[in-house]
Amino acid sequence: MPMIDDNGAITRENVRVAVYRTLAHSGLAPDIESLAASVEASPDEVRAHLHELADARHLVIDDDDNIVLAHPFSAIPMGFSVMGRETLWWGGCAWDSFALPHLLPDEPEVLVATTCPACSRPHAWTVSRLHPPDGAQVAHFLVPVAEIWDDVIRTCKHQRIFCDESCVDDWLSSSGNRRGAVLDLATLWRLSERWYQGRLDHGYQRRDPTTAAAYFREVGLTGPFWGN
């Protein structure tokens, strides 16, 4: 356990919530100075907390301490855009993009857009929190869940939506990758539905591998890829 006094732990959680709420509200990651102002701490304290949050996998920072990912939010393009009523987000991966309407109270439906990695055909869906979108496209996840955090940016970049199975096969052979998991859009939507629940609120706890595996099973995803 890191040695952190209660005030430090409270400030760290305030930093986490401020990062998430800024991304939710604006689509943009806050910088250290604006975080310091919003949590009433020094920039150095905020920087230290960002590193602790990254170590605990609540977010991903780059070498200059910029926030890159705070799942399901992304500060960098990963193949998806998500348009709300007044806000535009980089969607992160397929899983993250489909999660946004479930997490954002004021955005019951969003427009998710991408291109097929194999043939570059454009695809877009209105994704709501009520039911999965129509569409015969498929998502392909390359990296098994046990290895997600080995290189989480690479993992997210390879959770994409393709026209169909034949485009998945084309991409796998041209990129020299082995097949991961293929999900239809309804399954992708169910995966995204409750995965990030609570992340905008204080006191959020990440799932451990056991509860994550149980969640995957509940939404119909089973086997070694999903760790269950």
CB of 67 to Zn ion, least distance (A): 14
Give the binding range for Zn ion (CB under 5 A) out of 37-45, 50-58, 59-67, 116-124.
116-124
Among 15, 145, 167, 213, binds Zn ion (CB under 5 A): 167
Give the binding range for Zn ion (CB under 5 A) out of 29-37, 140-148, 150-158, 192-200.
150-158
Among 103, 118, 138, 181, binds Zn ion (CB under 5 A): 118
127 touches Zn ion by CB under 5 A: no
Give the binding range for Zn ion (CB under 5 A) out of 14-22, 80-88, 164-172, 187-195.
164-172
Among 29, 156, 181, 191, binds Zn ion (CB under 5 A): 156
CB of 93 to Zn ion, least distance (A): 3
Give the binding range for Zn ion (CB under 5 A) out of 25-33, 81-89, 152-160, 190-198.
152-160
92 touches Zn ion by CB under 5 A: yes
CB of 47 to Zn ion, least distance (A): 24
Distance, CA of 166 to chain centre: 26
163 touches Zn ion by CB under 5 A: yes
CB of 30 to Zn ion, least distance (A): 20
Show the 3-state SS of the chain: CCCCCHHHHHHHHHHHHHHHHHHHHHCCCCCHHHHHHHHCCCHHHHHHHHHHHHHCCCCEECCCCCEEEECCEECCCCCEEEECCCCEEECCCHHHHHHHHHHCCCCCEEEEEEECCCCCCEEEEEEECCCCCCCCCEEEECCCHHHHHHCHHHHHHCEEEECCHHHHHHHHHHHCCCCCEEEEHHHHHHHHHHHCCCCCCCCCCCCCHHHHHHHHHHCCCCCHHHCC
Q: 210-215 long-range contacts, Cβ below 8 Å, gap at least 24?
A: 212/145, 213/145
185 touches Zn ion by CB under 5 A: no
Separation between Cα atoms, residue 60 and residue 55, nearest integer Å = 9
Give the binding range for Zn ion (CB under 5 A) out of 31-39, 86-94, 200-208, 211-219.
86-94
Which residues sit at the interface with Zn ion, rule CB under 5 A?
92-93, 96, 116, 118-119, 121, 156, 163, 167
